[in-house]
């Protein structure tokens, strides 16, 4: 049975498409499960598929060392395709397991050529992602480790269902580009402040408003970022 009902579009980008634009993609969308550390795009290699994430979380990482962006159910991978290229210098892999839909890069290009509104809608997400990477650069250059961690937790919580984030200290250290010991200290401080709860491999959000205060200007809520990109 084909994917035809808007109620089935768990990805926000797909849900926002007109019926006509969705029909252009529908025959070529393939449901997929997304496993932790699954690579969706390899650095400097041709992009074969574009993924519309429905659950879970993907990281865009530069030089295999530092995260520059997050993508969840609000968006899509393969942004280089939308910009007329066929590859990216960054790697994209799954950080939190989930599922989604994928389409080949060739089929997406064909659909984009048939609809200006489809291209325009997807380019709005490119704009929002570029804003996110600029905010990440600002945070990495000016914010303390606790502020950067608070920002990251808020961004992850924006893109995941529920208040549980399944990540280890080692993974967070890689994402933030800091030592594991620094992440451990920052997590413990946030826990003692009542902002989060910690369990083995799990982080539980307790106080979003407190985390927003700690993150400061480095964090912008996902809804406001997407709204600004739609203007």
Angle ∠(40,13,156) on CA atoms, nearest 5: 60
Mean pLDDT of the chain: 90
The string of pLDDT tens digits covering residues 60-69 is 999 877 889 9
Domains in the chain and their CATH numbers?
6-138 (2.60.120.10), 143-229 (1.10.10.10)
**Does residue 8 have a pLDDT over 50?**
yes
Amino acid 1: pLDDT: 42
Q: Which of 211, 161, 165, 162 is nearest to 186 (CA)?
A: 211
Amino acid 113: pLDDT: 96
SS3 content of the chain, % helix, strand, coil (to 5): 50, 25, 30
The string of pLDDT tens digits covering residues 25-73 is 999 999 999 999 999 999 999 999 999 999 999 999 998 778 899 999 9
Q: Which of 123, 146, 138 is nearest to 76 (CA)?
A: 123
Q: Which of 19, 88, 17 is nearest to 50 (CA)?
A: 88
**Does residue 228 have a pLDDT over 90?**
no
State the pLDDT confidence band at 130, using cuts at 50, 70 and 90. Answer: very high
């Amino acid at each position: 049975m084909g994917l035809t009902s808007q109620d089935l579009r768990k990805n926000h980008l797909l849900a926002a498409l007109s019926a006509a634009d969705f029909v252009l993609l529908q025959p070529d969308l393939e449901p997929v499960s997304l496993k932790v550390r699954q690579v969706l795009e390899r650095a400097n290699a041709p992009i074969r598929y574009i993924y519309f994430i429905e659950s879970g979380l993907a990281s865009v990482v530069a030089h295999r060392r530092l995260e520059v962006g997050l993508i969840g159910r609000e968006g899509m991978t393969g942004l280089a395709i939308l910009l007329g290229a066929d590859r990216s210098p960054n790697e994209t892999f799954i950080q939190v397991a989930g599922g989604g839909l994928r389409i080949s890069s060739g089929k997406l290009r064909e659909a984009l050529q048939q609809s200006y509104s489809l291209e325009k809608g997807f380019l709005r997400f490119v704009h929002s992602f570029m804003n996110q990477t600029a905010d990440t650069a600002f945070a990495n250059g000016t914010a303390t480790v606790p502020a950067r961690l608070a920002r990251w937790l808020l961004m992850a919580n924006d893109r995941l269902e529920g208040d549980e984030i399944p990540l280890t200290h080692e993974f967070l250290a890689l994402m933030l580009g800091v030592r594991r010991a620094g992440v451990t200290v920052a997590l413990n401080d946030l826990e003692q402040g009542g902002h989060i709860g910690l369990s083995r491999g799990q982080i539980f959000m307790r106080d979003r408003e407190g985390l927003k205060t700690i993150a400061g200007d480095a964090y912008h809520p996902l809804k406001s970022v997407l709204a600004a990109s739609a203007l």
